[in-house]
Amino acid sequence: MKKNEKLYKIIIIFVISVLFEIFICNFTFFKSLFYKPYIVPDSDIVTNMDLEKGKTVEDSYIEILNINKKINNIYIDINYPEEYILDINATDKGNKLYFSLPSRQVTNSVKKSKYINFNLSGKSKKLKLKFSFLENENITVNKIVINSNVPMMFNVIRCVLVFSILLFVYLFRSKSVLYKINLNSYKFKKQLLILIIVFNILIFSIIGIKSLFSYNDHDKPVFYGDLADMVIKGEVSLKDNLNNSEKLLNKMDNPYDTKLRDKLIVNDKQKNYLWDYAFYKGKYYVYFGVVPAVLFFVPYKLLFNSYLSIHFLIYLCIIFTVIGISLLLYQMINKYYKDCSVGVFILLDFLLTYCIGLIYLMKFANSYILPVVCSLMFTVFGLILLCGILKSDKYIKLKLFFGTLCLALVAGCRPNLLVGSFLVIPILYAFYKENKNKIKKEDFIKYFIVFSIPYILVAVGLMYYNYIRFGSVFDFGSNYNLTYSDLTARGFDISRIPLGVWQYLFNPVNFINVFPFITSVPIVTNYMGATTFEPMYGGVFFTTLIFSVCLFLPKLKKIINNKMIYGTCWLMVILGFIVVILDLEMGGILPRYMADFTWLFAFTSVLILLSIENYKFKYKDIFHKVLFVLIFLALIYQFLSMFVEVYLPFYLYVKYLIEFWI
């Protein structure tokens, strides 16, 4: 009976999804049923679409005259194969002269985009449609229809999406059976883990669809192509063979003065200089971490005599990170949270996978993103291997060696993420505490040596690499890069901290009423000094409200009820704030830097939430309800953030999928 009841509810959800698609998402079909279509004759069209006569794409327009009727909508069909921007000027009862309406993105590949609804007053005499095309082509108008009957457009994907959302809400409601199934005693827990991993891989493959099919670059990748060539040749510096800009930069007292440098380049009629490369004592260097070049680009170049695609490598690193996150969470629950339910496990896996910045990193996929995703991948797998010594006494030395090797390699990717190595302290402490009466002191010494070797080897290699380039074992060269400001003079200024902490952690999201419904938050400051910033889209504790549980850590000692876990939470929160300060002082306020510290707050939140799940109290239903709502809101934000700033190939399709009313 119960199975039939559940099936019955799922069928109801499916029916609701279909009805929603037919009657809500297609309301323009019903609205336009009784419109009387008016096919605009060529005699009423004034066109300026002939781009072969030397006009630019901005010169193209169509003017429709002698309309003299109320315009409810317009259907426009032209033979342009790409998407284009349509700016609309209209007249109506209250405006004899043209006034501007919002622009619209149109493409023949999305049928809905060709139907544009109007909200004009009374009759209109004329319309002017101005086109912005990507390329100059000979474009012709196929048909323009005023007051067109909009066809029924049943979108299967939208119907499935609505069904999935409703099913997700149903499955994770507070009374759901998923919260009553213990993960550790669940018969199909491994199959569940595999299913979640496969689902996450599928989602990130859709987000990174372009990266998925780009195995190698036709052109040399920025920074890492040069690094690979230098490693193969046994060199550490490179020359600007195209511009020979070293001579001009050597004449400058301060080559890091951006405005003066740009002015001299123009006055000297130089083509350019190597932007964002390090320049030190007359030579160019790549300050980006050498580890990705050595591990990935050099072998690929030697094997195939071409350059590995940065986009594809970022895709692989993120996929492995996604897999590692699920494995690490499963490992933590298996060890310390015996009462965790299946429902909470799935929700927390989604929280970690989608809310630590991986979507942003996959979306951008450039040379600046690569060191971050490599560092996250190595950190996650390093922690998995090291936590493995707490679960089993097999292969302890191998786990220690390769675990610390992964964490040590982070120093050669993005040194800021080396903070992950501090998490070995509670892991080793727990290992010692659990085994101090089982293992001899001599074995502990051996384990410590095995643990130390990777750090020593990597440290010696990187220190030597730094010394032969910049004369200091601790100087990675990032301050010498030729960028927007002089980083050698940047220094540490405590006055920057409030602005950076606010933008990175607490700044609210700037909502708008058009897709994707969020936009950048203006950075307004009274800081009278040089700093670097890019558009931001809300602080971590606002975009993912559930991470705010970290701020209540002092009040949660009794609930966590495990000194090692409680100490680990404090350690990660402190490290998170330290990285925030380091990032804003050393680099500025940039959205990609958020991935440096968000994972620390995310894992802290997960440990706290798992402790609450394990804690015996009578309001568990309320906890599950709040947990679901906050994670659901965080996932919605992350979904919308995919379509901000960077134009994904399926942007317009999703836009009209969601904004079905326009």
Looking at the predicted structure, is the pLDDT value of residue 50 above 60?
Answer: no
Element containing residue 652 per DSSP (H, E): helix 651-658
pLDDT bucket at 137, cuts 50 / 70 / 90:
low
Q: Which pLDDT score is estimated for 54?
A: 39
Looking at the predicted structure, is the pLDDT value of residue 218 above 70?
Answer: no
- CA-to-CA dists, residue 662 to 32, 133, 488, 637, angstroms: 13, 22, 51, 22
Reference 286, options 461, 409, 412, 473; nearest CA is: 412
SS3 438: coil
Q: Which pLDDT score is estimated for 533?
A: 84
pLDDT bucket at 51, cuts 50 / 70 / 90:
very low
Both tokens of 522, joined, read: 């203006």
Q: Give the CB-side neighbour count of residue 211, counting CA atoms within 13 A.
A: 23
**Mean pLDDT score, 30-41:** 93
Q: Which pLDDT score is estimated for 599?
A: 97
What b/e string do you get for 146-167 counting C-beta neighbours within 10 Å, with b at 16 or more? bbbbbeebebeebbebbbeebe
Which of these ranges, 77-81, 252-256, 275-279, has the smallest mean pLDDT?
77-81
Question: Alpha-carbon distance 357 to 321, whole Å?
Answer: 12
Q: Which pLDDT score is estimated for 273?
A: 87
The helices-and-strands tally (H runs, E runs) of the chain is 24, 15
Both tokens of 232, joined, read: 């193969």
Both tokens of 418, joined, read: 């080396």
**Mean pLDDT score, 452-473:** 95
pLDDT, tens digit, 9 for 90 and up, residues 495-506: 899 999 999 999
Residues 421-424: contacts with CB within 8 Å, 24+ apart? 421/455, 422/571, 422/575, 423/383, 423/568, 423/571, 423/572, 424/386, 424/451
**For residue 424, how far is the Cα from the chain centroid?**
27
Reference 494, options 467, 529, 460, 519; nearest CA is: 529
Residue with tokens 């950048």: 520
SS3 content of the chain, % helix, strand, coil (to 5): 55, 10, 30
Radius of gyration of the chain (CA): 29
H-state helical runs in 175-278: 189-207, 209-212, 224-233, 246-251, 258-267
Instruction: Check whether the bond before 516 is cis (ω within 30° of 0).
Output: yes
Which conformational region is residue 127 in: left (phi greater than 0), alpha (psi within -120 to 50 degrees), or beta? beta
According to DSSP, the β-strands at 45-47 and 61-64 are: antiparallel
Looking at the predicted structure, is the pLDDT value of residue 514 above 70?
Answer: yes
Question: Alpha-carbon distance 323 to 194, whole Å?
Answer: 9
pLDDT, tens digit, 9 for 90 and up, residues 263-280: 887 766 666 889 999 999
* Dihedral (CA of 372, 377, 382, 383) sign: positive
pLDDT, tens digit, 9 for 90 and up, residues 621-651: 999 999 999 999 999 999 999 998 777 778 8
Looking at the predicted structure, is the pLDDT value of residue 141 above 90?
Answer: no
SS3 126: coil
Question: Alpha-carbon distance 220 to 310, whole Å?
Answer: 10
pLDDT bucket at 2, cuts 50 / 70 / 90:
low
Q: Give the CB-side neighbour count of residue 649, counting CA atoms within 13 A.
A: 6
Write the secondary structure of 127-160 as one string of H (helix), E (strand) and C (coil).
Answer: EEEEEECCCCCCCCEEEEEECCCCCCCCCHHHHH
pLDDT bucket at 407, cuts 50 / 70 / 90:
very high
Average pLDDT of the chain, as a whole number: 91
Q: Which pLDDT score is estimated for 53?
A: 40
Say if residues 32 and 73 touch (Cβ distance below 8 Å): yes
Q: Which pLDDT score is estimated for 59?
A: 62
Which of these ranges, 39-43, 198-202, 400-404, 591-595, has the smallest mean pLDDT?
39-43
> Which residues have C-beta within 8 Å of that of residue 504, sequence separation ≥ 6?
536, 539, 540, 580, 583, 584, 589, 593, 594, 597
Which of these ranges, 129-138, 493-502, 581-590, has the smallest mean pLDDT?
129-138
**Mean pLDDT score, 650-661:** 92
Share of the chain above pLDDT 70, in %: 96
Looking at the predicted structure, is the pLDDT value of residue 217 above 80?
Answer: no
SS3 243: coil
Domains of the chain: 2-26+155-165 (no CATH), 35-146 (2.60.120.260), 175-213+349-360+492-658 (no CATH)
Q: Which pLDDT score is estimated for 58?
A: 53
Which conformational region is residue 54 in: left (phi greater than 0), alpha (psi within -120 to 50 degrees), or beta? left
Question: Alpha-carbon distance 99 to 89, whole Å?
Answer: 5
SS3 318: helix
Both tokens of 252, joined, read: 């400058």
SS3 187: coil
Looking at the predicted structure, is the pLDDT value of residue 252 above 70?
Answer: yes
Q: Which pLDDT score is estimated for 1?
A: 46
Q: Which pLDDT score is estimated for 56?
A: 43
Question: Across 274-379, where does the E strand assignment appear?
Answer: 278-280, 283-285, 307-308
pLDDT, tens digit, 9 for 90 and up, residues 434-462: 888 888 888 889 999 999 999 999 999 99
pLDDT, tens digit, 9 for 90 and up, residues 165-193: 999 999 999 889 999 999 999 999 999 99
Element containing residue 97 per DSSP (H, E): strand 95-106
Say if residues 481 and 474 touch (Cβ distance below 8 Å): no
